[in-house]
């Protein structure tokens, strides 16, 4: 693939910031300080890596105002070098152009409406009454259920499955192996056997969402499972039935969220974290990796916790004590001071 080069002056005219040094220098790709070569632009986001500026072979760098004097290389100076890098990398590495049309091997159900501007690749199955918006790309082996709607400029990588009656918004990226709208895990016990509870809700995915490979989002049991605008999900995440994820929340790999939980907007959930069902997580909450959340979090903050397992009743008692550990430590210190005072009197 041939790369197009852009002068630093052209880049800042598009993305902002200003150039220190020769603004006629041209770059065609982004890279790290360690591995950049001529024609590439690197970025510095942490001052502890300033030393790498001395040995980098990059043609230019992106820096914050605080690091403007750390190198004599041509440099773009901006407020947030990392987000600037992200925008520039997206610009220099565009997605493949949409090749509008329906492959001859695709199977399209009766009443399905596929925009002439959509790309439907080989062996795709599209159910009756489904809708595919303009600019969307449905790659090989995907299955779109009946009466499901896919918005505009959305990209489904190979072998994504979206069940019936689901909604997927605009500008969504869904990676391979994702399953949206499978039945939630709902069963009732009767006569020593489990009875399946039909899952009649939908899964609704908002705009500008990204869903990582092999993540699963179950449909609602009665109400809908909802992923709001701007949410970013990593690989191998489980979202259970009736969950609502607030806008612009990010969730790292292998996290699991049990049914009927509501997660607020702009939350950050670390890898392998777990959230039990029927709880509410406030906006802006940060949950550390491997943390188990067993009750609602009503206030913004960072929450962490990793306890070794034990017999359930003991674990619950110990966890209850741990929640008051700081208070208990303060009381013990006060008691020690009182005891010292009594000993001195004697």
7, 35, 164, 241: the active-site residue: 241
Tokens of 296: 């609602």
Give the SS3 label for residue 327. helix
Q: Which of 191, 92, 104, 106 is nearest to 144 (CA)?
A: 106
What string of DSSP letters covers 97-154? Answer: PP--EE-TT-EE-TT-EE-TT-EE-TT-EE-TT-EE-TT-EE-TT-EE-TT-EE-TT-
Question: What does the alpha-carbon distance between residue 254 and residue 275 come to, in Å, rounded to a whole number?
Answer: 12
Establish whether 241 is a catalytic residue.
yes
For residue 46, give every residue at least 6 positions away whose Cβ sits within 8 Å of its Cβ, in sequence order, or none.
none
Q: Which residues are catalytic?
A: 241
């Amino acid at each position: 693939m041939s790369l197009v080069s852009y002068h630093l002056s052209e880049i800042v005219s598009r993305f902002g910031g200003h150039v220190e040094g020769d603004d006629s220098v041209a770059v065609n790709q982004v890279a790290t300080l360690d591995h950049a070569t001529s024609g590439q632009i690197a970025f510095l986001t942490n001052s502890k890596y300033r030393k790498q500026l001395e040995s980098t072979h990059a043609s230019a760098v992106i820096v914050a105002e605080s690091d403007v004097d750390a190198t004599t290389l041509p440099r773009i100076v901006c407020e947030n070098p990392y987000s600037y890098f992200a925008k520039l990398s997206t610009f220099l590495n565009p997605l493949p152009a949409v090749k509008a049309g329906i492959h001859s091997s695709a199977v399209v159900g009766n009443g399905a409406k596929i925009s002439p501007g959509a790309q439907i690749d080989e062996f795709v199955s599209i159910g009756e009454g489904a809708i595919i918006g303009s600019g969307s790309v449905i790659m090989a082996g995907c299955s779109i259920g009946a009466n499901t709607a896919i918005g505009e400029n959305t990209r489904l990588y190979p072998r994504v499955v979206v069940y019936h009656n689901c909604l997927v918004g605009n500008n969504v990226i869904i990676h391979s192996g994702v399953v949206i709208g499978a039945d939630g895990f709902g069963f009732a016990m009767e006569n020593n056997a489990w009875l399946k509870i039909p899952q009649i809700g939908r899964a609704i995915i908002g705009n500008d969402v990204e869903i990582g490979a092999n993540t699963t989002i179950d449909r609602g049991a009665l109400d809908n499972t909802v992923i709001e605008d701007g949410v970013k999900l990593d690989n191998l995440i489980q979202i259970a039935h009736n969950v609502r994820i607030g806008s612009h929340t990010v969730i790292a790999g292998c996290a699991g969220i049990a049914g009927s939980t509501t997660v607020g907007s702009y939350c950050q959930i670390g890898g392998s974290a777990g959230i039990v069902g029927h709880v509410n997580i406030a906006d802006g909450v940060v949950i550390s990796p491997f943390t188990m959340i067993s009750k609602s979090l009503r206030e913004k903050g960072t929450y962490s916790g990793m306890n070794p397992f034990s017999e359930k009743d003991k674990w619950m008692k110990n966890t209850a004590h741990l929640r008051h550990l700081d208070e208990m430590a303060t009381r013990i210190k006060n008691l020690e001071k009182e005891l010292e005072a009594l000993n001195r009197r004697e």
